[in-house]
Structure formats: structure tokens, C-alpha cells
Amino acid sequence: MSNRLKEFLAEANYVNLALETEDERIIGLTKDLCYLSHNVSARLLYYYTLCNKLQNVFLEERNEFELMYAEVDNKSNDATEISFDSEITKSRSLERQWLFGEATEVQEAAVSIGVYLKAYAMLEDVLNEICNIYQELKGLSASYRELDGGGIVRASLYIKNAVGINSSLSRDWQLLRHWNTIRNQVMHEDAKMNSNPKLLESINMLGINSIRDTTIGKTEVINITLQNVKDFLILIDKCLSAFVLHEDYWE
């Protein structure tokens, strides 16, 4: 698992070791990139590990509830006669089972979104840091802030203009753009589903489902699971590794 979260780290370290130059400025910039990649790798691993722990917590809760419900169900089925009280008990048990399933689903979605947004914010910040490194490397007067737009799209455009790295056509980058669509919906619309074709395409491409916010609610919301977040963390690492400039062009 952890080896899958070290592509950015490996690319940055390779540049730092393979670069043949005595220019202290360039050496300093490659070290900055290397330090940045170490920090990213550690945080991705921490978030991934947290997702694993939370998955185990929810799985344990589900298993415990299923055992408890099975005992109640068996007692009800073993009854020699059907009584009003036994039927009420069984009905309440079924209701509790439904509400428990709903609660755990909504709770997992809530914590998943928290980890996802934290990781997405890190991604944006790291891309901006890479922009700053390449700006200094090429001696550019304009920063990424002077471009139109914002977020990962603005940063990727700046990197393309500064050092010629164009990742916009890669499948990984397209998936990241879909995650950008999801992020905007989560942040600005409380993850509510709608008929926007762009949102529906992103949901489909990322394999994300929707759920009712609660039994009494009528709103369908984006259901980001912990597994979805783990896939997103791996994607971040792969995409960042693609923005590491080849050692021959650090000049």
C-alpha cells in the first residue's frame, strides 16, 4: 500500500540525485521539491492509514449489529405462536436495522468527505508550491496568481507555460478534474445531487454513488466512501509525480 503513495517522492528524489550541477540556486530548488515530496508522501500515508482504521471501525460496528439482530430474529422465528407483542418486537427490530444501516452510511460519508477535502486542499497547495519553484527556476516575473481561474487548473496551466509539462491529456489528470467537480459540489451545494451532465459524468467516471441524506429527507447526496478517498489519495500521488521536471531541464 505505502509503495503506491511514493511516486511523487521517488521522482523528486531521482532529480535531486541525478542532477549534475554546481549551481547552488538550482540545487536549492531541487531540494525544496524533494522536501515537499517527503511531506506529501507522509501526509498521504497518514490519511490512507486513517481511512483503513475507519473502515475497520465501521465494519466492526456492522458485524456486531448483524449478530445482535440475528439473535432477535431467531427468537422471533422460534416462537410457537404469533402474538401481537412478538410482531411489534420484530417490527421494531427491523426499523432499528434500517436506521442503523442508514446511520453508518451517512456517518461514513461525513468522515470520508472530511478526509477528502483535507487531501484536496493539500493538493492545491502543493501544486502552487511547485509553481513557485518553477517560477524561481526560470526567473519568471509573473506568478501563478496572475493567471485567470484558480485551483488545480490554474496551477497546471502555469506549470505548462513555465516548464512545458502538459498533463492535461493524461487519464489521471482527467480523473483529477472529475474530483474537482465533486469537490465544488461538496463545498458549494452540500454534496447535493442534481441533473447537471458534468456532475453526473464525474459521478459515473469515479464510481461514486448517491444516498438519501436521511430517511425523512428527500435529498439525494453524493456518497463518497472511504474506499473512494483511498483511490483519490493514490491518484494525487500519481498526478503530482507527473509535474516533476526532468533533470535535463533544470537550468
What range defines the domain where residue 194 resides? Answer: 2-249
> Residues 73-127: pLDDT tens digits?
665 555 544 554 555 455 555 556 556 667 788 888 899 999 999 999 999 999 9
The predicted pLDDT at position 2 comes to: 52
Residue with cell 456518497: 223
The predicted pLDDT at position 92 comes to: 57
Q: Is 220 strand, coil or helix?
A: strand
Nearest 5°: phi and psi at 209?
-105, 180
Q: Which residues neighbour 227 within 8 Å (Cβ) at sequence distance 6 or greater?
A: 51, 55
The predicted pLDDT at position 49 comes to: 97
Q: Which residues neighbour 126 within 8 Å (Cβ) at sequence distance 6 or greater?
A: 36, 40, 240
**Secondary structure element (H or E) that encloses residue 189, with its range:** helix 171-189
Pairing outcome for strands 209-212 and 220-223: antiparallel
10 neighbors 44 (Cβ within 8 angstroms):
no
The predicted pLDDT at position 242 comes to: 95
The predicted pLDDT at position 84 comes to: 46
The predicted pLDDT at position 94 comes to: 53
The predicted pLDDT at position 101 comes to: 64
d(CA 196, CA 215): 24
Segments of the chain with pLDDT less than 50: 80-81, 84, 88
pTM over 0.85: yes
How many domains does the structure of the chain reveal?
Answer: 1
